[in-house]
Amino acid sequence: MSSPYTAKEVLHKRDRALSARTIPVAVHAKDRHMNSMVWLPPAAHWKNLRKVSATHMFTAQRLDASRALRRKKVQELLDYVLESCSKGQAVNIGQAVFTTSLNLISNTFFSIDLSHHHSEFSQSFSDITRGVLEEAGRPNFADYFTILRVIDPQGCQKRLKNYYEMLFHIFDGIINKRTQSSDVSYMSTTASRDFLDSLLDLAKDYNSEFSMLDLKHMLLVSTFSA
Protein backbone atom coordinates (compact mmCIF):
# COMPACT_ATOMS: atom_id res chain seq x y z
CA MET A 1 0.00 0.00 0.00
CA SER A 2 3.00 2.31 0.49
CA SER A 3 4.49 1.63 -2.95
CA PRO A 4 5.38 4.52 -5.33
CA TYR A 5 2.68 3.27 -7.72
CA THR A 6 -0.03 3.56 -5.04
CA ALA A 7 1.20 6.97 -3.97
CA LYS A 8 1.07 8.17 -7.60
CA GLU A 9 -2.46 6.84 -8.03
CA VAL A 10 -3.71 8.48 -4.82
CA LEU A 11 -1.85 11.79 -4.91
CA HIS A 12 -1.58 12.45 -8.65
CA LYS A 13 -4.04 10.58 -10.85
CA ARG A 14 -7.06 10.26 -8.53
CA ASP A 15 -6.41 13.09 -6.11
CA ARG A 16 -9.66 14.94 -6.87
CA ALA A 17 -11.85 11.87 -6.51
CA LEU A 18 -10.25 10.87 -3.22
CA SER A 19 -10.15 14.36 -1.73
CA ALA A 20 -13.65 15.48 -2.77
CA ARG A 21 -16.13 15.97 0.04
CA THR A 22 -19.44 14.16 0.31
CA ILE A 23 -22.31 16.47 -0.60
CA PRO A 24 -25.52 15.95 1.42
CA VAL A 25 -28.60 15.36 -0.73
CA ALA A 26 -30.38 18.27 0.95
CA VAL A 27 -27.77 20.69 -0.42
CA HIS A 28 -28.93 19.85 -3.96
CA ALA A 29 -31.85 22.22 -3.32
CA LYS A 30 -31.78 25.14 -5.80
CA ASP A 31 -28.73 23.44 -7.40
CA ARG A 32 -26.61 24.76 -4.55
CA HIS A 33 -24.03 22.02 -5.07
CA MET A 34 -23.44 23.23 -8.65
CA ASN A 35 -23.12 26.96 -7.90
CA SER A 36 -21.63 27.35 -4.44
CA MET A 37 -17.90 27.73 -3.87
CA VAL A 38 -18.40 25.71 -0.67
CA TRP A 39 -19.53 22.55 -2.48
CA LEU A 40 -17.99 22.79 -5.94
CA PRO A 41 -15.01 20.55 -6.79
CA PRO A 42 -11.68 22.36 -7.37
CA ALA A 43 -12.28 22.77 -11.10
CA ALA A 44 -12.57 25.82 -13.40
CA HIS A 45 -15.82 27.18 -11.94
CA TRP A 46 -14.57 26.89 -8.39
CA LYS A 47 -11.29 28.59 -9.27
CA ASN A 48 -13.17 31.46 -10.92
CA LEU A 49 -15.36 32.03 -7.84
CA ARG A 50 -12.33 31.82 -5.58
CA LYS A 51 -10.58 34.42 -7.72
CA VAL A 52 -13.59 36.74 -7.49
CA SER A 53 -13.61 36.41 -3.70
CA ALA A 54 -9.91 37.07 -3.38
CA THR A 55 -9.99 40.01 -5.81
CA HIS A 56 -13.14 41.79 -4.66
CA MET A 57 -13.91 40.64 -1.13
CA PHE A 58 -10.73 39.95 0.82
CA THR A 59 -8.42 42.63 -0.56
CA ALA A 60 -6.31 44.56 1.95
CA GLN A 61 -7.79 47.83 0.69
CA ARG A 62 -11.38 46.71 1.29
CA LEU A 63 -10.61 45.28 4.73
CA ASP A 64 -8.83 48.48 5.76
CA ALA A 65 -11.71 50.59 4.48
CA SER A 66 -14.16 48.69 6.71
CA ARG A 67 -12.19 49.39 9.89
CA ALA A 68 -14.23 52.50 10.72
CA LEU A 69 -17.42 50.59 9.95
CA ARG A 70 -16.51 47.84 12.40
CA ARG A 71 -15.90 50.40 15.14
CA LYS A 72 -19.21 52.12 14.38
CA LYS A 73 -21.21 48.88 14.60
CA VAL A 74 -19.55 47.88 17.87
CA GLN A 75 -20.34 51.32 19.29
CA GLU A 76 -23.99 50.93 18.20
CA LEU A 77 -24.07 47.61 20.06
CA LEU A 78 -22.69 49.23 23.22
CA ASP A 79 -25.16 52.11 22.93
CA TYR A 80 -28.04 49.64 22.61
CA VAL A 81 -26.92 47.71 25.69
CA LEU A 82 -26.48 50.91 27.73
CA GLU A 83 -29.88 52.21 26.60
CA SER A 84 -31.59 48.94 27.56
CA CYS A 85 -29.85 48.84 30.94
CA SER A 86 -30.84 52.44 31.72
CA LYS A 87 -34.49 51.47 31.06
CA GLY A 88 -34.20 48.31 33.15
CA GLN A 89 -34.79 46.09 30.12
CA ALA A 90 -33.25 42.64 29.69
CA VAL A 91 -30.82 42.28 26.78
CA ASN A 92 -30.63 39.18 24.60
CA ILE A 93 -26.86 39.31 24.08
CA GLY A 94 -26.82 36.57 21.46
CA GLN A 95 -29.47 38.31 19.36
CA ALA A 96 -27.83 41.73 19.79
CA VAL A 97 -24.45 40.38 18.65
CA PHE A 98 -26.08 38.64 15.68
CA THR A 99 -27.73 41.92 14.64
CA THR A 100 -24.38 43.70 14.87
CA SER A 101 -22.64 41.02 12.79
CA LEU A 102 -25.47 40.98 10.24
CA ASN A 103 -25.34 44.77 9.79
CA LEU A 104 -21.57 44.74 9.57
CA ILE A 105 -21.70 42.21 6.73
CA SER A 106 -24.65 43.89 4.98
CA ASN A 107 -22.91 47.27 5.11
CA THR A 108 -19.73 45.78 3.73
CA PHE A 109 -21.57 44.11 0.85
CA PHE A 110 -24.65 46.31 0.30
CA SER A 111 -23.91 49.60 2.15
CA ILE A 112 -27.15 49.24 4.14
CA ASP A 113 -28.33 47.93 7.51
CA LEU A 114 -30.44 44.82 7.08
CA SER A 115 -31.77 45.01 10.60
CA HIS A 116 -32.02 47.10 13.77
CA HIS A 117 -31.78 46.15 17.42
CA HIS A 118 -35.43 47.09 17.98
CA SER A 119 -36.78 45.20 14.94
CA GLU A 120 -37.85 41.58 14.55
CA PHE A 121 -36.11 41.10 11.21
CA SER A 122 -32.85 40.08 12.85
CA GLN A 123 -34.60 37.22 14.68
CA SER A 124 -36.29 36.09 11.45
CA PHE A 125 -33.00 36.18 9.56
CA SER A 126 -31.29 34.29 12.38
CA ASP A 127 -34.02 31.62 12.26
CA ILE A 128 -33.51 31.21 8.48
CA THR A 129 -29.73 30.85 8.69
CA ARG A 130 -30.04 28.45 11.63
CA GLY A 131 -32.59 26.43 9.67
CA VAL A 132 -30.24 26.17 6.68
CA LEU A 133 -27.40 24.90 8.86
CA GLU A 134 -29.64 22.42 10.66
CA GLU A 135 -31.12 20.96 7.48
CA ALA A 136 -27.73 20.72 5.75
CA GLY A 137 -26.26 18.89 8.74
CA ARG A 138 -29.26 16.75 9.67
CA PRO A 139 -28.79 12.95 9.32
CA ASN A 140 -30.72 12.02 6.19
CA PHE A 141 -31.64 8.52 5.02
CA ALA A 142 -31.38 9.75 1.41
CA ASP A 143 -27.64 10.22 1.89
CA TYR A 144 -27.23 6.51 2.51
CA PHE A 145 -29.87 5.02 0.21
CA THR A 146 -29.73 6.41 -3.34
CA ILE A 147 -33.23 5.26 -4.18
CA LEU A 148 -34.64 7.67 -1.56
CA ARG A 149 -33.09 10.81 -3.09
CA VAL A 150 -36.04 11.43 -5.42
CA ILE A 151 -38.58 10.87 -2.64
CA ASP A 152 -36.85 13.01 0.02
CA PRO A 153 -38.69 11.09 2.81
CA GLN A 154 -37.59 13.40 5.62
CA GLY A 155 -38.31 16.59 3.66
CA CYS A 156 -34.82 17.99 4.29
CA GLN A 157 -34.30 19.12 0.71
CA LYS A 158 -37.77 20.69 0.53
CA ARG A 159 -37.27 22.71 3.72
CA LEU A 160 -33.79 23.79 2.64
CA LYS A 161 -35.18 24.93 -0.71
CA ASN A 162 -37.72 27.11 1.13
CA TYR A 163 -34.96 28.69 3.23
CA TYR A 164 -32.86 29.40 0.13
CA GLU A 165 -35.83 31.00 -1.61
CA MET A 166 -36.41 33.28 1.39
CA LEU A 167 -32.80 34.45 1.28
CA PHE A 168 -32.81 34.84 -2.50
CA HIS A 169 -35.97 36.94 -2.20
CA ILE A 170 -34.10 39.31 0.13
CA PHE A 171 -31.10 39.44 -2.21
CA ASP A 172 -33.30 40.02 -5.26
CA GLY A 173 -34.90 43.02 -3.57
CA ILE A 174 -31.51 44.55 -2.79
CA ILE A 175 -30.11 43.82 -6.26
CA ASN A 176 -33.17 45.20 -8.07
CA LYS A 177 -33.10 48.36 -5.99
CA ARG A 178 -29.43 48.84 -6.77
CA THR A 179 -29.71 48.19 -10.50
CA GLN A 180 -32.77 50.45 -10.82
CA SER A 181 -31.21 53.27 -8.84
CA SER A 182 -31.11 56.59 -10.67
CA ASP A 183 -28.42 58.02 -8.41
CA VAL A 184 -25.66 58.20 -11.02
CA SER A 185 -23.26 59.97 -8.72
CA TYR A 186 -23.37 57.07 -6.27
CA MET A 187 -22.84 54.46 -8.95
CA SER A 188 -19.97 56.36 -10.55
CA THR A 189 -18.03 57.29 -7.43
CA THR A 190 -15.22 54.82 -6.94
CA ALA A 191 -14.93 55.50 -3.21
CA SER A 192 -18.56 54.60 -2.60
CA ARG A 193 -18.60 51.39 -4.60
CA ASP A 194 -19.14 48.32 -2.47
CA PHE A 195 -18.85 44.58 -2.98
CA LEU A 196 -22.26 44.35 -4.66
CA ASP A 197 -21.31 46.98 -7.25
CA SER A 198 -18.20 45.01 -8.17
CA LEU A 199 -20.13 41.76 -8.53
CA LEU A 200 -22.85 43.41 -10.62
CA ASP A 201 -20.19 44.74 -12.98
CA LEU A 202 -18.78 41.24 -13.34
CA ALA A 203 -22.20 39.69 -13.89
CA LYS A 204 -23.02 42.25 -16.60
CA ASP A 205 -19.75 41.65 -18.42
CA TYR A 206 -20.47 39.25 -21.29
CA ASN A 207 -16.83 38.14 -21.33
CA SER A 208 -16.96 37.20 -17.67
CA GLU A 209 -17.66 33.68 -16.45
CA PHE A 210 -19.44 35.14 -13.43
CA SER A 211 -23.27 35.16 -13.60
CA MET A 212 -26.10 36.64 -11.57
CA LEU A 213 -26.76 33.16 -10.19
CA ASP A 214 -23.15 32.98 -9.02
CA LEU A 215 -23.62 36.39 -7.41
CA LYS A 216 -26.62 35.29 -5.36
CA HIS A 217 -24.98 32.06 -4.26
CA MET A 218 -21.88 34.00 -3.20
CA LEU A 219 -24.04 36.35 -1.15
CA LEU A 220 -25.69 33.29 0.36
CA VAL A 221 -22.29 32.07 1.54
CA SER A 222 -21.59 35.45 3.10
CA THR A 223 -24.75 35.35 5.24
CA PHE A 224 -23.42 32.41 7.25
CA SER A 225 -20.53 34.55 8.46
CA ALA A 226 -22.99 36.43 10.64
pLDDT in tens, 79-98: 999 999 998 988 889 889 98
Confidence of residue 191 (pLDDT cuts 50, 70, 90): very low
Domain ranges across the chain: 4-58+115-182+192-223
Residues 23 and 39: their CA atoms lie apart, in Å, by 7
88 Rama class: left (phi>0) / alpha (psi -120 to 50) / beta: left
Q: Where are the alpha helices (DSSP H) in 13-116?
A: 15-19, 32-35, 44-56, 60-65, 67-86, 93-110
Residues 88 and 69: their CA atoms lie apart, in Å, by 29
Residues 53 and 218: their CA atoms lie apart, in Å, by 9
Residues 126 and 133: their CA atoms lie apart, in Å, by 11
Degrees to nearest 5, angle at CA 154 with 149 and 157: 60
Q: Mean of the per-residue pLDDT values for the chain?
A: 83
Confidence of residue 16 (pLDDT cuts 50, 70, 90): low
**Distances in Å between the alpha carbon of 85 and those of 71, 76, 91, 116, 207?**
21, 14, 8, 17, 55
DSSP 131: H
pTM of the prediction? Answer: 0.78
